[in-house]
């Protein structure tokens, strides 16, 4: 999923789309249901999240699922992590031990 909280101004692909902020592949409720189903199967869940909005959404859903059904060894992670999310999201990630697999050259 790709979503930023601010419209992208520096990307040639978005010329003529001043309000373009990316695309979610799943609605937030669908994302919750997918992560919850994976959690119920004891899967390690990894999400491709590009943009601060996508990262915040993914972390919020991971946090919700982990609050409902805690598991110390979940090993959930985010791929890409190209745009830093809000500070509060980073604190949640640290507290919940949500990992990242950064790809700094991927944009």
pLDDT at 13 over 90: no
Does 9 or 30 have the greater pLDDT score? 30
Q: Nearest Cα to 93, choosing from 69, 68, 57, 51?
A: 57
**Neighbour order of strands in the sheet with 77-80:** 46-49, 77-80, 99-102
Spatial separation of the C-alpha atoms in residues 73 and 2, rounded to whole Å = 27
pLDDT at 19 over 80: no
Predicted TM-score (pTM) of this structure: 0.82
The whole-number pLDDT of residue 75 equals 94
Q: Nearest Cα to 81, choosing from 96, 71, 95, 93?
A: 93
pLDDT, tens digit (0-9, with 9 covering 90-100), for 54-102: 899 999 999 999 999 998 899 999 998 878 899 999 999 999 999 999 8
Q: Nearest Cα to 42, choosing from 70, 64, 63, 61?
A: 70
């Amino acid at each position: 999923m790709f979503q930023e909280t601010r419209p992208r101004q520096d990307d040639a692909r978005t010329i003529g789309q001043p309000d373009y902020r990316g695309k979610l592949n799943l609605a937030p409720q669908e994302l919750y249901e997918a992560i919850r189903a994976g959690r119920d199967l004891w899967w390690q869940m990894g999400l491709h999240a590009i943009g601060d909005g996508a990262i915040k959404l993914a972390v919020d859903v991971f946090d919700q699922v982990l609050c409902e059904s805690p598991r110390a060894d979940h090993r959930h992670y985010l791929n890409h992590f190209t745009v830093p999310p809000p500070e509060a999201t980073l604190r949640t990630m640290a507290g919940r031990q949500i990992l990242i697999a950064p790809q700094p050259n991927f944009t």
